[in-house]
């Protein structure tokens, strides 16, 4: 059952990621990769909630959410790709902002959930 839960969660996470990208592009026009930032921070929030707050959930539900959904929704590869694209365009302020803000925000979300 666990593999099926991961499969379903991954599909749902990927669809959510696609939806965030499409929705963000309707309202945001900038070099900064906001859709990836939003997906990664929300994914850290969901992961943190299940690791630190809903630790009593069944192993199947945790696999669906933590491995499946968060794995499909968050995107380190896209973060890396978009950062490299900014480097190639010599958009150094966006490169630095993307790295610092993304990593800091994700770590902060998890730290706050771990402490509360």
pLDDT in tens, 29-78: 889 999 999 999 999 999 999 999 998 999 999 999 999 999 999 999 99
Query: What confidence score (pLDDT) does residue 116 get?
Result: 85
The CA distance from 32 to 47, in Å, is: 24
Q: How confident is the model over 11-35, as a mean pLDDT?
A: 95
Query: What confidence score (pLDDT) does residue 61 get?
Result: 96
- Supply the pTM of this predicted model: 0.91
The CA distance from 71 to 6, in Å, is: 9
pLDDT in tens, 78-89: 999 999 999 999
Q: How many CB atoms lie within 10 A of CB 58?
A: 10
The whole-chain average pLDDT of the chain stands at 96
How many angstroms from the chain centroid is the CA of residue 57? 21
The residue that leads in pLDDT, 29 or 6, is 6
Residue 6 has pLDDT above 90, yes or no: yes
Helical residues (DSSP H) of 28-91, grouped into ranges: 34-48, 59-62, 70-73, 76-88
């Amino acid at each position: 059952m666990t593999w099926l839960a991961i499969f379903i969660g991954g599909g749902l996470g990927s669809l959510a990621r696609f939806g965030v990208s499409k929705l963000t592009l309707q309202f945001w026009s900038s070099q900064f990769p906001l859709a990836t930032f939003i997906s990664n921070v929300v994914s850290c929030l969901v992961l943190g909630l299940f690791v630190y707050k809903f630790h009593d959930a069944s192993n199947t539900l945790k696999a669906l959410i933590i491995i499946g959904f968060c794995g499909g929704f968050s995107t380190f590869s896209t973060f890396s790709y978009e950062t490299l694209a900014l480097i190639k365009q010599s958009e150094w302020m966006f490169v630095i902002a993307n790295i610092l803000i993304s990593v800091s925000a994700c770590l902060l979300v998890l730290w706050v959930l771990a402490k509360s």
